[in-house]
């Protein structure tokens, strides 16, 4: 899992996209669109197609009256697989197989592009062939990676008058077992941080956000020519670089990863919490995918831009443990920082610059190396019997920052168990209605490279054929509550399946979700979160409009929902998982049944389990909030056309939903196909190449992502406009939203003639 782009503490309130709004239905605007009439072979024409426009207005008004005010899951038989199919699947789930899978995949380090990662790819391909899959492919991509040099580890030194007084070496001997019988060298690093040396005074800058640097401005501290110390998963090296810093150190404070104290008895390997010796690693690239082939797949023949044109940081940077950060803080001079900048280290947090001891500086030496290496995806296919040209995809990345028992081997174990069971079912004569594709991605931790390159290579095919993408990255992080990162179209399907799966407490997954992570807006429902813990679903949803969902068991402490404490460190090991989280592998089994069950629902259902009414409500509620911000910023911004488009989308959604429910699965194959085709095209209506965001991978005008924003193009344009007082780009981005909504409404308008 890539680094989350939102503060962890915001998680508990981040499902606010689905606020309740009025359900009154307005008459369609009359915007013209071409409609095709499909005649069922089982029925005679009773009404002429010309009557549809008249009936639509009347039915639309009735629907607006009778649609429930509250969002309630509607779980119909025609939108799920049969109970017999689900029972046979669930009965086959084996905790022993899950344990063996996790043990194997996390037994050795397997960084993206490494020999071990290729061994695991070959293993998966061999298993899928053994399971009798119809096709197994291993697409190869030549991509730019960044790796530490093992013979020249990165190094941080405190230097006084030329003499080294303290050294933090980027090489740690790590045990994969508590007794030390299996050890490896860990080289913590920040991938894509350039090689180089920096020396200067140290300044603490909190998370390194623009507001943090403004706080430094207030107290008269500049970071120009100095090394910065940043805390948190998202320590902002790029902003520090723009401010003139010559180097950066990152650490994660115990207030996030060791909340019950950081004495040895309170942390790993004695408890679930991260120890003072663990070091968090991550990538520093701004854009996702291969850095040399933006917008293009990194296959032979594609243009590769020069490395100096890549948007990579230009100052050396290195992660350190909070134990080493404690030592650095103990030496810093300067004023005390604001309370919001303090963590839980037992030390006075000071700004700096520099150390109390005169003539003392900090020297940073980074020896990372940029290399072009082969990475591999593994794609396994079970062809559908009725709709082989419609794809239901399930994916998980294979690489890890080190052992990666949680991230992402817990997801890989789940993926492999689902594939084993469905392979066995296939050998017994079963086939899904739609084609199922299992996907193992390479080099996700370097910026979703494997999935981005595959989507770029197959974008046109997937845009036409893909139905849904399900992701299992951190499948079992801890064991408190399942949280879904998803879009409104899929929420109802998630809830319906969660009601039918029991967790180890014998409650349904749905009930546990509802009690431990309730929605703040849709009363009586569990919460979901936007796409803010970045993983391989992003290119599917953000680039080509494939509805996606990612599942993870999250950590709960003092009612705060966070990632698991040893995230992206050397302590994310099989021992940690087996000892503290899931010794019987029951939570892995629960996740297998939940994700596998949803996979069956989408691959077997007569009518795809999407909810366009819920989508319309989410869009309406989100724009209502955005409109207030727009009007506060500039009274000349006109929003009535977007609001009219929202009403048209809402009307079309309500009418479509009623038409779909009237069928009750009794329509001909042709009619069912038409209904499903309309459903899968809705999300694609929100894709545009003109979105005003920094990463070209993002093309979704609604998105519920991009640093926690809805309508990211509008919001980003507005942020810039407030500074420049030029609002033309805001109006352009609003026009893109309007066009998307009207297109989605057109897609949903009636195709069936009664």
Kindly list the catalytic residues: 444
**Phi (first) and psi of residue 751, to 5 degrees:** -110, -15
What number of other Cβ atoms are within 10 A of residue 46's Cβ?
Answer: 8
| SS3 assignment, position 106 | coil
**Interatomic CA distance for residues 579 and 390, integer angstroms:** 42
Q: Is the peptide bond before 542 cis (omega within 30 degrees of 0)?
A: no
Q: Give the closest residue to 233 by CA, choosing from 704, 573, 559, 567.
A: 567
What number of other Cβ atoms are within 10 A of residue 423's Cβ?
Answer: 20
In sequence order, the 6+-apart residues with CB closer than 8 A to the CB of 144 are: 290, 291, 292, 307, 310, 370, 371, 372
| Residue 357 tokens, joined | 């001891």
Half-sphere exposure of 496 (CA within 13 A, CB side): 27
Cβ-based burial of 586 (10 A; exposed 0-12, middle 13-18, buried ≥19)? middle
Question: Angle at CA 17, nearest 5°, toward 16 and 19?
Answer: 70
Half-sphere exposure of 557 (CA within 13 A, CB side): 16
| Residue 301 tokens, joined | 């023949």
Q: Give the closest residue to 602 by CA, choosing from 711, 492, 514, 456.
A: 492
Q: Give the closest residue to 540 by CA, choosing from 658, 394, 352.
A: 394
466-471 and 434-441 as β-strands: parallel, antiparallel, unpaired? unpaired
Cα torsion 594, 600, 603, 607: sign? negative
236: left (phi over 0), alpha (psi -120 to 50) or beta: beta
Calculate the alpha carbon distances from 736 to 21, 459, 530, 631, 714 in Å: 23, 21, 21, 18, 9
In sequence order, the 6+-apart residues with CB closer than 8 A to the CB of 638 are: 731
| SS3 assignment, position 542 | helix
**Interatomic CA distance for residues 251 and 318, integer angstroms:** 9
For the chain, how far is it from start to end, CA to CA, in angstroms? 49
In the chain, the largest separation of any two C-alpha atoms, in whole Å, equals 95
- For tokens 């996700």, the residue is 444
**Interatomic CA distance for residues 338 and 712, integer angstroms:** 31
User: What is the per-residue DSSP string for 543-608?
Assistant: IH---EEEEEEEEEETTEEE--TTTTSTT-SHHHIIIII-TT-HHHHHHHHHHHHHHHHHHH-SS-
Q: Is the peptide bond before 408 cis (omega within 30 degrees of 0)?
A: yes
């Amino acid at each position: 899992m890539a680094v989350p782009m939102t503060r962890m503490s915001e998680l508990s309130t981040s499902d606010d996209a689905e606020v309740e709004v009025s359900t009154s239905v307005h008459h369609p605007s009359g915007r013209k669109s071409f409609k095709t009439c499909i005649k069922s072979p089982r029925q005679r024409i009773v009404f002429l197609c010309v009557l549809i426009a008249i009936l639509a207005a009347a039915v639309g008004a009735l629907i607006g009256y009778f649609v429930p005010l509250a969002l309630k899951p509607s779980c119909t038989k025609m939108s799920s697989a049969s109970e017999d199919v689900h029972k046979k699947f669930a009965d086959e789930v084996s905790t022993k197989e899950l344990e063996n899978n996790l043990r194997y995949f996390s037994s050795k380090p397997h960084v993206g592009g490494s020999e071990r990662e290729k061994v695991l790819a070959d293993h998966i391909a061999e298993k899928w062939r053994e399971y009798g899959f119809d096709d197994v492919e291993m697409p190869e991509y030549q991509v730019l990676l960044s790796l530490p040099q093992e013979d020249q580890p990165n190094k941080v030194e405190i230097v006084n008058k030329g003499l080294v007084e303290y050294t933090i070496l980027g090489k740690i001997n790590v045990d994969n077992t508590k007794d030390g019988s299996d050890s490896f060298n860990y080289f913590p690093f920040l991938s894509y941080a350039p090689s180089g040396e920096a020396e200067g005074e140290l300044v603490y800058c909190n998370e390194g956000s623009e507001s943090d640097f403004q706080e430094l401005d207030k107290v008269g501290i500049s970071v120009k020519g100095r090394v910065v110390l940043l805390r948190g998963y998202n320590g902002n090296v790029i902003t520090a670089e723009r401010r003139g810093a010559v180097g950066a150190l990152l650490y994660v404070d115990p207030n996030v990863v060791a909340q019950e104290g950081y004495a040895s008895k309170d942390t790993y390997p004695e408890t679930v919490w991260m120890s003072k010796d663990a070091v968090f690693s991550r990538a520093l690239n701004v854009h996702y995918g291969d850095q040399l082939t933006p917008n293009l797949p990194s296959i032979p023949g594609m243009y590769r831009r020069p490395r100096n044109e890549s948007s990579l940081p230009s100052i050396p940077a290195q992660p350190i443990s909070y134990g080493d950060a404690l030592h650095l803080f103990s030496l810093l001079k300067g004023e005390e920082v604001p309370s919001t900048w303090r963590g839980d280290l037992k030390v006075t947090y000071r700004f700096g610059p520099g150390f109390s001891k005169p003539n003392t500086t900090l020297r940073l030496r980074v020896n990372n190396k940029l290399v072009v290496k082969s990475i591999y995806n593994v794609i396994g296919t079970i062809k559908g019997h009725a709709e082989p040209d419609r794809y239901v995809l399930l994916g998980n990345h294979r690489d890890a920052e080190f052992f990666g028992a949680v991230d992402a081997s817990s997801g890989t174990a789940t993926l492999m168990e689902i594939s084993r069971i469905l392979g066995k079912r296939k050998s017994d004569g079963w086939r899904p209605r739609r084609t199922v594709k299992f996907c193992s991605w390479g080099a996700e931790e370097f910026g979703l490279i494997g999935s981005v390159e595959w989507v770029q290579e197959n974008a046109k095919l997937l845009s036409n054929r893909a139905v849904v993408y399900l992701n299992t990255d951190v499948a079992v992080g801890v064991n408190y509550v399942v949280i879904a990162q998803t879009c409104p179209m899929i929420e109802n399907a998630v809830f319906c399946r969660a009601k039918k799966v029991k967790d180890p407490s014998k409650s349904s997954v749905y009930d546990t979700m509802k009690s431990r992570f309730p929605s703040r807006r849709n009363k009586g429902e569990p919460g979901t979160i936007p796409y803010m813990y970045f993983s391989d679903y992003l290119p599917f949803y953000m680039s080509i409009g494939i509805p996606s969902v990612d599942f993870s068991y999250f950590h709960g402490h003092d009612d705060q929902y966070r990632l698991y404490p040893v995230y992206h460190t050397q302590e994310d090991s099989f021992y940690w998982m087996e000892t503290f989280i899931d010794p019987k592998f029951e939570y892995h089994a629960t996740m297998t049944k939940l994700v596998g069950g949803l996979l069956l629902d989408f691959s077997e259902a007569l009518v795809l389990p999407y909810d366009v009414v819920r989508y319309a409500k989410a869009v309406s509620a989100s724009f209502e909030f955005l409109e207030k911000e727009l009007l506060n910023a500039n009274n000349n911004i006109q929003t009535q056309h977007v609001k009219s488009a929202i009403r048209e989308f809402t009307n079309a959604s309500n009418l479509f939903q009623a038409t779909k429910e009237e069928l009750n699965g009794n329509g001909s194959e042709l009619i069912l196909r038409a209904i499903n085709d309309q459903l899968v095209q809705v999300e694609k209506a929100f894709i545009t190449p003109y979105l005003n965001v920094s990463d070209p991978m993002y093309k979704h005008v609604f998105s519920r992502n991009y640093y926690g924003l809805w309508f990211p193009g509008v919001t980003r344009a507005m942020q810039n406009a407030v500074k420049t007082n030029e609002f033309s780009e805001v109006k352009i981005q609003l026009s893109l939203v309007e066009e998307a909504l009207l297109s989605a409404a057109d897609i949903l308008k009636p195709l069936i003639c009664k």
